[in-house]
Chains A and B, each alone.
Chain A
Amino acid sequence: GAGVSQSPRYKVAKRGQDVALRCDPISGHVSLFWYQQALGQGPEFLTYFQNEAQLDKSGLPSDRFFAERPEGSVSTLKIQRTQQEDSAVYLCASSLKASGGAFYNEQFFGPGTRLTVL
């Protein structure tokens, strides 16, 4: 596909359950970002990869959140022991590079995964 894809689109989890959210970035994009969007608010940064290296995870809200991108392409965001406050839309974005001109650093977003924790 031409754009960023995410799966599943919707996930309902019981409190305490572990979940895994997948992101397929645009082919060839070096940079990958995860954001969390609470209802009625703007997205907030969670973590950033350049190829397979996780260069910034300062936005992860707790050690229950873990992200990986082992081969520098697909990324997975894992949330352990989900809590109700984890309910949000999780957005993935990719860009060709993190630096350089506009052609390189424009971020393209996927449709998101809406997580509901009961």
Chain B
Amino acid sequence: KQEVTQIPAALSVPEGENLVLNCSFTDSAIYNLQWFRQDPGKGLTSLLLIQSSQREQTSGRLNASLDKSSGRSTLYIAASQPGDSATYLCAVGRFAGNMLTFGGGTRLMVKP
């Protein structure tokens, strides 16, 4: 059974800092990996999707990498802003349906 772990569970940083969120998974036979953002009381917003054949994806200040062999992904956020404060969730998709298995999330607080 696939298990996804996110470290740290919570993170508080001053504005402007570059930061890295970590995600690890136990089964490397994944279809894709998706990073989401969740604001309190809201649904999930897709940030980046990495196919299993890819190594990284970039969108603005966000960069996500994927190392399938070691079962790891990182989300890099450059020049963090208070508006980045949210919970970040990592999810891996499996073959035959692409159902997602989620980590527990990293709760990020960026202080002005």
Contact = CB atoms under 8 A, between A and B. Distances in A.
B71 interface: no
Interface string A34-56: 01000011111100101000011
B75 interface: no
Contacts, number: 71
B34 A107 contact: yes
Contacts of A108: 46
B101 interface: yes
A60 to B, nearest CB: 12
What band does the interface of chain A fall in when counting residues whose beta carbon is under 8 Å from B? 20 to 34
Contacts of A25: none
B6 to A, nearest CB: 8
B98 A98 contact: yes
B35 to A, nearest CB: 11
Interface of A: 4, 6, 31, 33, 35, 40-45, 48, 50, 55-56, 59, 91, 93, 95, 98-99, 101-102, 105-112, 114
Given A35-B102, A108-B46, A109-B36, 16 more contacts: A31-B97, A33-B100, A41-B105, A42-B104, A43-B91, A44-B102, A45-B99, A45-B101, A50-B97, A55-B97, A98-B98, A102-B49, A106-B46, A107-B93, A107-B100, A111-B42
